[in-house]
Structure 1
Amino acid sequence: MSAEITPEHRIRAELNMLIEPNDLAGGALLSLIGSAECLAMITSGYPPPEDLQRRCNDLLGLSSTAADTHSLPVALQRWRKRISPGRSDKLLETLRRNGGGLLIPGDPLWPTQLGDLQLGQPLCLWWRAKRVQRMVQCTLDRCVSIVGSRDCSDYGQRVTQDFAEHLYRAGNTIVSGGAYGVDATAHRAALNSAAVDKKNLPTIAILAGGIDRLYPAGNSSLLTQVIHSGIVLSEVPPGTPPARFRFLNRNRLIAALSRVTLVTEARYRSGALNTVGHALDLGRDVAAVPGSVYSAYSAGTHRLIAEGQAQLVSEPRELLGESVLPGTGGTIRRLTDALTLTQRMVYDSLEVRRALPVSEIAARAGISDGHAMTALRYLGGQSLARQQGAQWCLAPQEHGPKG
């Protein structure tokens, strides 16, 4: 195993076995105290200090008397049911024998764009790869996620293959979830392109279960190829089964790793639309490929385009920003200079002269407080909004974003 395992890695591995990914209470606690202190608090069996409870509630937007599932006392109860001393050492040894390892925030190879998930950032990432050092190429501007239906049509396969091959040749890493259909086609196209031109990391597969369980079993050969030429990642410990809710959790990582999420083909209620929701919440671009109006396979992509959640794209070069696609001889326009739908609703709810609390902004936009806060942080980073204490207003500027 090429990546060093430190005491902090071992603590994170222990916490990862106690705290389910995207457990916001865990994220809040870790943002307030160190990982070692967090582990000690869980294993001690004692109730948390009242001041710490209050600070966690403040971060989570809970009332001081809330018995919510995210409240610290309730969270401690579920975490303590999973205590199994020494298990992390066994897992790390198993990974070492199988050419895998562990990354944690702050490691040189950690993809920093996952920090945009804030309290939902993974505790750690378990990996299997022949050359994990290539994770250094996993930057926001070099990753594109391709998602879609598991039962895609021949058209969907051809479109996915075409986009994945062109995007790889333009210097991008293809990110997907290792499932049947669109996922598998995207991974395979990137791997085939890399067999001819090995200039960049071809693909990353993010699993919903442990990386010792190459799921689905029918894709085990493909995922073995990903391990050999790309990287397989998971935010849950080895041995963890891929339950349905873990697929939904996993989708936020697919969205967060990439600058754009492309839906090549999806039914009306495809699980790929969940990934799109995460991408929009993170302020990432979303694109969709249209299909036949008579095809149920493309009903989901048409829905995204019609609702303004995704930009229609018909050729790979439309996704390549300001870069030049080999053979075109020209500069390609950016995917979009506009805000996502959620960000636009929040932007339109702000005022110039009066700062508003997050709850009022969320009510005006018709979204949750958490989604409003995510959008506000993005708008603030783009100098479109300004924070005044716990309230927000529009930032003065000469030219606002065009809708």
Structure 2
Amino acid sequence: MQRNQNVELLTTNTSAQRLVIAHLNQLIEPNDFTATALLELMSPSELLTLIQRQDFVPQGLKAQVDQILGFKPSSNMAQDLKVALTRWRKRLSLSNPQAVLDMAARHGGGLLLNTDPGWPRQVDELNLGRPLCLWWRANNPELLSGQQLSRNVAIVGSRDASDYGDQVTFDLGRTLALRGYTVVSGGAYGIDASAHRAALSVDQWEHPNPATISVMAGGIDRLYPSGNSNLLNQVIARGVLLSEVPPGTTSARFRFLNRNRLIAALSRLVIVTEARHRSGALNTASHAVELSRDVAAVPGSVFAPNSAGCHRLISEGSALLLTSPQDALRLVGAESVAQPVQEQLNIEGPTDRLGRDEGMVYDCMSFARGLVIDEISARSGVPLIQTLQAVGQLEALGMASTDGRTWKLVRPAA
């Protein structure tokens, strides 16, 4: 009963409205600019009625749609009003909105509309590419209201991740999750899976936002890929699973590409940890750039094909160079970051201000075993008199000590 009450708090639309949207969602593929343009001119129920009137195209409507699109599609283009209506009408016999709503409910999920309190407002920045609706699965539906742009960081990359990519991704994801940031990804093998696992590795999650969000390319009833079903069930248990296609929909290449724009829109920062030259992760980064989101990429070996895409993003100026979790925290404006990477690079080491002789002597001495002056001189190549002067200087700086016969290094205080 409590779970149903929570859902009602997040969804305020009537069942009739949900049926209309679910019906349209079965007829219209996501990221359809023509459909969105029409919904700026009429209500969802009016659009559904128009689609149901076979072979009918209202006079003057095309010009209004073209004006919103910003160009005049030719009669054979997908964005043309008549072409679009024909495309949607072909699916009328296949649509069963009540069935998909029931299917979502059986899987512990539901339909989220853009007028619901739990709707993530940042996806509306996609303008004509904004989603008509979102299907969700979450053990705690209240987490739907925690999908805040300021707390979401996407981590994406190759499906065939290397050990290096997995390690970097896990380190980044866990660091961000420990600071209360939601890790957003696509639930795929490789980098996506490592990102979700990193967020889920934080046991004590006491934040109103979900630990992780997985955006599916298929229906929420089809945990894809099947090899990640256990992981995706953990996402449902502690986070949120989202899709903009109705239950029962299979994944397809074009749906993965459509899905990528949602990952970018949901997140304030998109991190690419590993990507080949033509990786789908680059598509996500491209959407993020268009949305004025921050993009960062992790460098790798120049010989590693899995890092070629990251290097391309960095060299083109599309992504910032990210070399540590502290870089990521700095980019999202996290307070009390230990020390940004550049500051760490500027910290002086213990030997940075030593002279040439002192530095050479220091390098050949040991913290564990004392050496006599003759041995230090022989090892360093510094003449005996200058070696005596060097160890004396090191002792004055608190970097070396003597027992009267041998000399060894002193570790700096913590």
What is the TM-score with the length of structure 2 in the denominator? 0.77
Instruction: Please tell me whether the aligned partners of residues 184 and 213 of structure 2 are also in contact (alpha carbons under 8 angstroms).
Output: yes
Q: Does 1:279 align with 2:294?
A: no
Once the 2 structures are TM-superposed, how far is the Cα of residue 319 of structure 1 from its aligned partner? 2.5
| Partner of residue 58 from structure 1, selected from 59, 63, 67 | 67
Partner of 1:89: 98
Partner of 1:156: 165
Partner of 2:24: 15
Partner of 1:399: none
Partner of 2:185: 176
Partner of 2:338: 328
| Unmatched segments (≥5 aa) in structure 1 | 334-403
Q: Does 1:196 align with 2:204?
A: yes
Letter of the structure 2 residue corresponding to residue 56 of structure 1: V
CA distance in 1, matches of 2:223, 2:243: 11
> What are the within-5 Å matches in structure 2 for residues 205-220 of structure 1?
205-220=214-229
Q: Look up the SS of the partner of 1:110 in the other structure.
A: coil
Once the 2 structures are TM-superposed, how far is the Cα of residue 133 of structure 1 from its aligned partner? 1.2
Once the 2 structures are TM-superposed, how far is the Cα of residue 84 of structure 1 from its aligned partner? 3.4
Partner of 1:72: 81
Once the 2 structures are TM-superposed, how far is the Cα of residue 106 of structure 1 from its aligned partner? 1.5
Partner of 2:149: 140
Instruction: Please tell me whether the aligned partners of residues 152 and 297 of structure 1 are also in contact (alpha carbons under 8 angstroms).
Output: yes
Q: Look up the SS of the partner of 1:12 in the other structure.
A: helix
Once the 2 structures are TM-superposed, how far is the Cα of residue 141 of structure 1 from its aligned partner? 0.8
Once the 2 structures are TM-superposed, how far is the Cα of residue 169 of structure 1 from its aligned partner? 1.6
| Partner of residue 256 from structure 1, selected from 262, 265, 278 | 265
Moved more, 233-242 or 51-60: 51-60
CA distance in 2, matches of 1:192, 1:63: 51
| Partner of residue 303 from structure 2, selected from 294, 297, 307 | 294
CA distance in 2, matches of 1:74, 1:156: 44
CA distance in 1, matches of 2:89, 2:295: 39
| Partner of residue 244 from structure 1, selected from 243, 253, 263 | 253
Once the 2 structures are TM-superposed, how far is the Cα of residue 66 of structure 1 from its aligned partner? 4.3
Q: Look up the SS of the partner of 1:155 in the other structure.
A: helix
Structural RMSD (CA): 2.0
User: Structure 1 residues 324 and 71 mapped into 2: Cα distance closer, same or farther (>3 Å)?
Assistant: closer
Letter of the structure 1 residue corresponding to residue 206 of structure 2: K
Letter of the structure 2 residue corresponding to residue 57 of structure 1: D
Instruction: Please tell me whether the aligned partners of residues 175 and 254 of structure 1 are also in contact (alpha carbons under 8 angstroms).
Output: yes
User: Number of paired residues?
Assistant: 332
CA distance in 2, matches of 1:67, 1:93: 37
CA distance in 1, matches of 2:336, 2:238: 23
User: Structure 1 residues 85 and 291 mapped into 2: Cα distance closer, same or farther (>3 Å)?
Assistant: closer
Once the 2 structures are TM-superposed, how far is the Cα of residue 267 of structure 1 from its aligned partner? 1.2
Q: Does 1:266 align with 2:266?
A: no
The percentage of counterpart residues that share the same residue type is 52
CA distance in 1, matches of 2:187, 2:218: 11
Moved more, 42-51 or 203-212: 42-51
User: Structure 1 residues 307 and 121 mapped into 2: Cα distance closer, same or farther (>3 Å)?
Assistant: same
Q: Look up the SS of the partner of 2:327 in the other structure.
A: helix
Partner of 1:235: 244
Which is higher, the Rg of structure 1 or of structure 2? 2
Once the 2 structures are TM-superposed, how far is the Cα of residue 135 of structure 1 from its aligned partner? 1.6
Q: Look up the SS of the partner of 1:147 in the other structure.
A: strand
CA deviation vs aligned residue, 1:77-127 (integer Å, no higher than 9, x gap):
000000137711111112222211000111100000011111111111011
Q: Look up the SS of the partner of 1:37 in the other structure.
A: helix
Partner of 2:406: none
Moved over 3 A (4+): 64-67, 321-327, 329-333
User: Structure 1 residues 301 and 127 mapped into 2: Cα distance closer, same or farther (>3 Å)?
Assistant: same
Q: Look up the SS of the partner of 1:152 in the other structure.
A: coil
| Unmatched segments (≥5 aa) in structure 2 | 344-414
CA distance in 2, matches of 1:284, 1:314: 19
| Partner of residue 125 from structure 1, selected from 134, 150, 174 | 134
CA distance in 2, matches of 1:101, 1:255: 23
Partner of 1:386: none
Letter of the structure 2 residue corresponding to residue 302 of structure 1: H
